[in-house]
Amino acid sequence: MAERSFKAEVEHLRLGAGETFTGEGILAITKALLENGVGYVGGYQGAPISHLMDVLADAEELLGELGIRFEANANEAAAAAMLAASVHYPIRGAVTFKGSVGVNVASDALANLASSGVNGGALIIVGEDYGEGSSIMQERSHAFAMKSQFWLLDPRPNLPCITKAVRDGFELSEASNTPVMLMVRIRSCHVTGSFQTRDNQRPTLSVKDALSNPQSDFARVVLPPMSFAHEQDKIKNRWPNAEKFIRERGLNEVFGPKTAPVGLVLQGGMYNGVIRALQRLGLADIWGNTQVPLYVLNVTYPLLAGEFLEFCEGKDQVLVIEEGQPEFIEQQLSTFLYRAGSQVKLRGKGILPMAGEYTGQVMLDGITAFLKEAAPQMLPALVRAPNEDKPQIPDLTRTVPIRPPGFCTGCPERPIFAAMKLVQKETGKLQISADIGCHLFASLPPFEIGGATMGYGLGPAANAAFDGGGERRPVSIIGDGGFWHNGLSSSFTNMAFNKSDGVAVIVDNYYSAATGGQDIMSSRADNPTKATKHPITKALKGIGIDWVRQVDRTYDVGKMRDVLREALTTDAPGPKVIVASSECMLNRQRREKPLTQKAIKDGRRVEAPRFGVDEDVCTGDHACIRLSGCPSLSLKKLDDPLRDDPVASIDQSCVGCGNCGEVADAAVLCPSFYRADVVHNPGAGELKRARIRDQVIGWLQTRRAARRLSFEGAA
Domain ranges for the chain: 16-203+216-248, 259-384, 414-587, 605-702
* Cis ω before 203 (30° cut-off from 0): no
Residue 450's pLDDT band (boundaries 50, 70, 90)? confident
**pLDDT above 90 coverage of the chain, percent:** 63
String of b and e for 133-171 (b: at least 16 CB within 10 Å)? ebebeebbbbebbeebbbbbbbbbbbbebbbbbbbbbbb
Q: In which band, very low, low, confident or very high, does the pLDDT at 476 lie, cut at 50, 70 and 90?
A: very high
At residue 296, the pLDDT reads 98
Mean pLDDT, rounded, of the chain? 90
CB 55 within 8 A of CB 10: yes
Strands 122-128 and 151-153, sheet pairing: unpaired
- Inter-helix orientation angle 25-35/159-176, to 10°: 40
Return the CATH number of the domain spanning residue range 605-702: 3.30.70
**DSSP count for the chain of H helices, then E strands:** 26, 23
Lowest mean pLDDT among 433-437, 569-573, 661-665: 661-665
- Other C-beta atoms within 10 Å of 118: how many? 28
**Amino acid 517: pLDDT:** 84
Position 645 scores a pLDDT of 84
The average pLDDT across 235-245 equals: 97
What are the phi and psi torsion angles at 87 (to 5°)? -70, -50
Distance in angstroms (rounded) separating the CA atoms of residues 607 and 605: 7
Instruction: Count Cβ atoms within 10 A of the Cβ of residue 107 and give its class: 0-12 exposed, 13-18 middle, 19 or more buried.
Output: middle
- Across residues 268-287, what is the average pLDDT? 94
Q: Which residues contact 45 (CB under 8 A, 6 or more apart)?
A: 53, 54, 72, 97, 98, 512, 515, 516, 518
Per the DSSP assignment, residues forming a β-bridge with 123 are 94, 180
414-587 under CATH 3.40.50.2000, yes or no:
no
| Whether pLDDT at 386 is above 60 | no
Q: Please check the confidence at residue 387 and state whether its pLDDT lies above 60.
A: no
The pTM for the full model equals: 0.87
Q: How many residues does the chain have?
A: 715
Per-residue pLDDT reduced to its tens digit, 197-225: 999 999 999 998 998 889 888 888 888 99
Architecture of domain 16-203+216-248: 3-Layer(aba) Sandwich (3.40)
Phi, psi at 132, each rounded to 5°: -70, -15
Determine the pLDDT at residue 292.
Answer: 96
CATH topology of domain 259-384: Rossmann fold (3.40.50)
pLDDT band at residue 484 using 50, 70 and 90 as cut-offs: very high
Pick the more confident residue, 383 or 561: 561
Give the range among 88-102, 135-149, 362-376 with minimum mean pLDDT: 135-149
What one-character-per-residue DSSP string does 56-67 give?
A: HHHTHHHHHHTT
Residue 188 in this model has a pLDDT that exceeds 60: yes
Q: Which strands form 345-347's sheet, in the order they lie side by side?
A: 253-255, 294-297, 262-267, 317-321, 345-347
What's the average model confidence in pLDDT over 116-127?
A: 94
Least confident interval from 306-320, 486-500, 587-601, 660-674: 660-674
Nearest to 207 by CA among 110, 84, 95, 31: 84
Cα separation of 12 and 330, whole Å? Answer: 41
> Phi then psi for 478, rounded to 5 degrees?
-150, 150
Q: Does position 388 have pLDDT exceeding 80, yes or no? A: no
> What are the tens digits of pLDDT across the range 11-65?
899 999 999 999 989 899 999 999 999 999 999 988 788 888 888 888 989 999 9
**Percent of the chain clearing pLDDT 70 (strictly above):** 97
Please write the tens of the pLDDT for every residue from 525-555: 898 888 999 999 999 999 999 999 999 999 9
What pLDDT, on the 0 to 100 scale, is given for residue 248? 97
The whole-angstrom separation of Cα 488 and Cα 480 is 10
Question: So what's the pLDDT on residue 574?
Answer: 93
**Which pLDDT score is estimated for 383?**
45
Q: What is the pLDDT of residues 676-714, one digit of tens each?
A: 888 999 999 999 999 999 999 999 989 988 887 766 655
- 384 band by pLDDT with thresholds 50, 70 and 90: very low
The predicted structure's pLDDT at residue 390: 62
Pair 1, 587: CB distance under 8 Å: yes
CB 191 within 8 A of CB 159: yes
Distance CA 184, CA 534 (A): 34
Same fold, 16-203+216-248 and 259-384: yes
pLDDT at 43: 93
